Structure 1
């Protein structure tokens, strides 16, 4: 296992994040997913977060990323959800018609550590999402 390091620590911190569209509205296509992914990458740099794998279904996204001990995960997730929601609704106005009260993401999210599974197992799982 390859470990990451910074000035004061050695670590391996991998997470799986699942974000669901409010009321599971089916609004995510490849274009919106790619757009949301670009926003994730641009915002994640500020929080010392690196994208490893990304995939989507029509009503949710799966994100596999690694972080550092100083990454503020809940602040990052909330900032990402807020920014991506606002920008998706602005740049894809047709999506607004399918939402309930213009809320894009569900208030909750699922964040899992990947300590129980190997990284390859998690990556393979995410790669197969949306292939049903």
Structure 2
């Protein structure tokens, strides 16, 4: 079994996560898409969370993450979405107004990886990314 370890713990906690911009706006393209990708990588690295696979599509983000058990998944998602929104507004102030500083929608989808293989999740995320590229070229 492939697993990671903390000082007294062996673990393999992997999650498939999907979240969207507020009102499912199609704003994740061009420079914003590249910046979101880098911001998410940086924030995950700060917490020691491994990005197994990821795709930033025009109106949603897919991530396959390995989150250490010392973090509550909902708290990590609050951190990820909250900090990334602030960092996005720093780089792209035109994305928010003076009164409304929310970039991401409140909810998210999460599933543990267990009933299906990691390879199936990776393949699904890659297919989503290919579909997004096709939509961008239209």
TM-score, length basis structure 2: 0.81
Q: What's the CA shift string for 1:7-54, capped at 9, x where partnerless? A: 212221111111111111110015323322222222223433111111
Q: Contact conserved, 1:20 with 1:105, CA < 8 A, in 2?
A: yes
Q: Which secondary structure state, in structure 1, belongs to the residue aligned with residue 76 of structure 2?
A: helix
CA contact (8 A) 2:20 2:104 kept: yes
For the structure 1 residues 30 and 52, does the alpha-carbon distance in structure 2 shift closer, same or farther, using more than 3 Å as the test?
Answer: farther
Where does residue 9 of structure 2 map in the other structure? Answer: 9
- SS of match in other structure, 1:129: helix
| 2:83 alignment partner in structure 1 | 83
Following superposition, the deviation at residue 6 of structure 1 comes to 2.4
Name the counterpart of 1:116: 115
- 1:20 equivalent in structure 2: 20
Structure 1: segments with no counterpart, 5+ residues: none
Distance, in Å, in 2 between the alignment partners of 1:7 and 1:85 is: 33
RMSD of aligned residue pairs (Cα, Å) = 2.1
Distance 2:93 2:58 in 1: 17
Q: How far, CA to CA, are the matches of 1:68 and 1:21 in structure 2? A: 26
Question: Segments of 4+ in structure 1 off by > 6 A?
Answer: none
Instruction: Give the structure 2 partner of residue 126 of structure 1.
Output: 125
The gaps in structure 2 that reach 5 residues or longer are: 132-138
Deviations 1:91-124 (A, max 9, x none): 1234338xxx452100111111111111111011
1:72 corresponds to 2:72 = yes
Contact persistence 1:40–1:80 (CA under 8 A): yes
